[in-house]
Structures are given as structure tokens and as C-alpha cells.
Amino acid sequence: MADSSSGRTLLSFWWIFCIIMMATYSGNLIAFLTVTKDKLPFTDLSGLVAQDKYQWGIQGGAIFEQILKVK
């Protein structure tokens, strides 16, 4: 253990940095291992229209609704 206050301060910041890095790494690792990466059954818009697994549409009241009504 350091005898000077500056040494203790530096050592304290080092421990805090290590704890933050360990918590960040652990959180990212847990998130990576728990989330599954699903492969979508389509790659473009025509594939989206042709498939029946996912429902698709636009949110009501959005600007896209107004654009599609006009055209």
C-alpha cells in the first residue's frame, strides 16, 4: 500500500477503473450470450412480401401513411 496520499489516490482510481472495466465486460458478455441472432427468411422487399412468417405494415398516423395515401 502506498504511503503518500497521491499514491493512494492513484491506486484508488486504478481499482475503480478495473472494477468499471470488469463490470462492462461482464455485462457485454452476458448480453452477447443471451441474445440469439435470428436469420431473417428474406433479404429484400419482394422476399418480405412473399413470406408469411412476419407481419408487416406501417404505423398509423405516421408520415408514411400520408405519403402512401397521396400516391
DSSP per-residue codes, 9-43: HHHHHHHHHHHHHHHHHHHHHHHHHHS--PPPS-S
Total domain count, the chain = 1
Summarize pLDDT for 11-37 with one digit per residue, the tens. Answer: 999 999 999 999 999 999 999 999 888
- Quote the pTM value: 0.50
Residue 66, domain extent = 5-70
The rounded distance, in Å, linking the Cα atoms of 3 and 21 is: 26
The rounded distance, in Å, linking the Cα atoms of 49 and 15 is: 54
Share of the chain above pLDDT 70, in %: 97
Collapse the DSSP code of 67 into the 3-class scheme (helix H, G, I; strand E, B; otherwise coil) and give the result: helix
Confidence of residue 71 (pLDDT cuts 50, 70, 90): low
